[in-house]
Amino acid sequence: MKMFLVKNYEELSRKAAGILAAQVISKPNSILGLATGSTPLGTYANLVEWCKNGDVDFSNVTTFNLDEYAGLSEENDQSYRYFMNTNLFDQINIDKAKTHVPNGKAADLTAEGLQYDQMIREHGGIDIQLLGIGHSGHIGFNEPDDVFVGSTHPVTLVEQTIQANARFFGSIDKVPTMAITMGMTSIMQAKKVLLIANGQDKKEIVEKAFYGPITPKVPASILQLHPDCTVICSW
């Protein structure tokens, strides 16, 4: 594992975007695993700028997002599909048909998850997976549990996550209580993993995840076993 502590959010964003851009430049048909949340916003802003400048070409890139709220359609401005369209896909030269977000409106989220994993496998797996980290230690929406769950699967969000995400919904009652998330198999099989964490409030959980015991109670701790994991933090 490579851990970088950088001086501020701007530097974190530039460094993370640089790693993703280098991936796309060296392999134009890369399969990127992407994340939502507030942390990757600066990373995506850099990628948009570099694409507009003609420095990075996304026309052959395929993406798979980590997760989606259950029950939200892509027109809902709180859905992760809407987030990705607005903050990245609509602003770069990617073919939208090559962008994938789990369908939170699927009638059977378990079946949707298995299909999603199948699609990732058919693409040969993920080249680089971008991750944030939740206060609960979640990656994607893999919440603390008794076991690490491998497949893309439906999850019940923990109270801490619902509270943390209430800021986006205006009120806590509007936050969905369920989601669908990529599981640990696709994440751990990604050739590279890049986790970004910003702010004092993430320091404790990052230390637990990367310097504490490997346990499904701290889902991100599984990344200690990944052969090519980079962590960029700014406090």
Q: Which residues bind ligand GLP (CB under 6 A)?
A: 35-39, 66-67, 132-134, 140-141, 161, 165
Residue nearest to ligand GLP (CB): 132
> In the complex with ligand GLP, which residue's Cβ is closer, 60 or 189?
189
Q: Which helix (H) or strand (E) holds 198?
A: strand 192-198
Instruction: Report the nearest approach of ligand GLP to the CB of residue 121 (Å).
Output: 22
- Helix, strand, or coil (residue 3): strand
Instruction: Report the nearest approach of ligand GLP to the CB of residue 214 (Å).
Output: 19
Of 68, 72, 38, 65, nearest to 164 by C-alpha is: 38
The amino acid occupying position 1 is: M
Q: How far is CA 139 from CA 45, 60, 72, 130, 220, in A?
A: 22, 27, 20, 10, 6
Of 186, 178, 174, nearest to 155 by C-alpha is: 178
Instruction: Report the nearest approach of ligand GLP to the CB of residue 28 (Å).
Output: 26
Instruction: Report the nearest approach of ligand GLP to the CB of residue 220 (Å).
Output: 9
Tokens standing for residue 113: 């998850």
**Residue whose pair of structure tokens reads 């990732």 in the numeric block:** 120
The gap from C-alpha 119 to its chain's centroid, in whole angstroms, comes to 17
> In the complex with ligand GLP, which residue's Cβ is closer, 30 or 142?
142
> In the complex with ligand GLP, which residue's Cβ is closer, 104 or 134?
134
> In the complex with ligand GLP, which residue's Cβ is closer, 21 or 206?
206
Instruction: Report the nearest approach of ligand GLP to the CB of residue 133 (Å).
Output: 6
> In the complex with ligand GLP, which residue's Cβ is closer, 92 or 179?
179
